[in-house]
Amino acid sequence: DTGVSQDPRHKITKRGQNVTFRCDPISEHNRLYWYRQTLGQGPEFLTYFQNEAQLEKSRLLSDRFSAERPKGSFSTLEIQRTEQGDSAMYLCASSPRTGDTEAFFGQGTRLTVV
Amino acid sequence: GESVGLHLPTLSVQEGDNSIINCAYSNSASDYFIWYKQESGKGPQFIIDIRSNMDKRQGQRVTVLLNKTVKHLSLQIAATQPGDSAVYFCAETPDKLIFGAGTRLAVHP
């Protein structure tokens, strides 16, 4: 296992299109996080899962965003009707159990909406 | 809302000097803290962590100090090297990781 894997690494899409990102966490990690990061800012929490259950979704996340983790392993983040303001780095992280352990991050998916 | 913030956005140091990066947090329920290093185009990388029942923890060339009275966290890097140049984030968690804006560390030869 080489760590958290995210696909694609880069995505350029036209405004109004839908995009989907995938995250494969470290094997047997129960917790999975999604973050968004813009230039010069820290990662901004979007949502997280404990196994297949989505425990919390940020108020910043509009209805255009949805995340799933159907079998408690990989996760997908979908953005519908993309807007230019969605352009950012989308980071995924996983940890072995609840919040009091280190979260390991993937390399991120850079989204550019044109 | 509750947040994690940093005192200095940019820190410039000479190679070989010690670096100190500071962080303030506001959630008194947070019981676990992590420092991450992020290089350009990469995801954050774990440096060191500390639990709220401790006030100091040392790693290789790094030390984290936690002052719960004033809700302050610091990262000390000894003998800073050019490879330490990156953005550093503190993060806190009572349940999920919350990050601050980061401090850019620039190491000059």
Per-residue burial over A20-56, b = 16 or more CB atoms within 10 Å of its CB, e = otherwise:
ebebbbbeebbbbbbbbbeeebbbbbbbbbbeeeeee
> In which band, very low, low, confident or very high, does the pLDDT at A72 lie, cut at 50, 70 and 90?
confident
Q: Is B43 on the interface with A (CB under 8 A)?
A: yes
Residues B29 and B21: their CA atoms lie apart, in Å, by 22
> In which band, very low, low, confident or very high, does the pLDDT at A39 lie, cut at 50, 70 and 90?
confident
Q: Does A8 sit behind a cis peptide bond, omega within 30 degrees of 0 on the bond before it?
A: yes
Decide: B47 and B35 in contact? Cβ < 8 Å. Answer: yes
Decide: A8 and A19 in contact? Cβ < 8 Å. Answer: no
pLDDT the model gives residue A17: 98
Decide: B86 and B38 in contact? Cβ < 8 Å. Answer: yes
Q: Provide the 10 A C-beta neighbour count for residue B6.
A: 21
Q: Pull the structure tokens for residue A44.
A: 């901004």
Of the residues B57, B96, B104, the best mutation for testing chain A's interface (the one with the most A CB atoms within 10 Å of its CB) is: B96
Of the residues A5, A48, A100, A110, the best mutation for testing chain B's interface (the one with the most B CB atoms within 10 Å of its CB) is: A100
For A74, which DSSP code? -
Cβ-based contacts of A32 with chain B (< 8 Å): none
Give the model confidence (pLDDT) of A85-112 as tens digits.
Answer: 999 999 999 998 765 778 999 999 999 9
Of B42, B97, B100, the CB nearest to A107: B42
Q: What H or E segment, with its residue span, contains residue A102?
A: none
Give the model confidence (pLDDT) of B2-44 as tens digits.
Answer: 345 444 488 999 999 999 999 998 888 899 999 999 998 899 9
User: Taking residues A63-90, what's their average pLDDT?
Assistant: 95
Interface A–B counts its CB contacts (< 8 A) at 60
Interchain proximity B89–A43, CB inside 8 Å: yes
Cβ-based contacts of A107 with chain B (< 8 Å): 41-43
pLDDT the model gives residue A106: 96
Q: Is B51 on the interface with A (CB under 8 A)?
A: yes
Number of H helices, E strands in chain A: 0, 11
User: Taking residues B76-90, what's their average pLDDT?
Assistant: 96
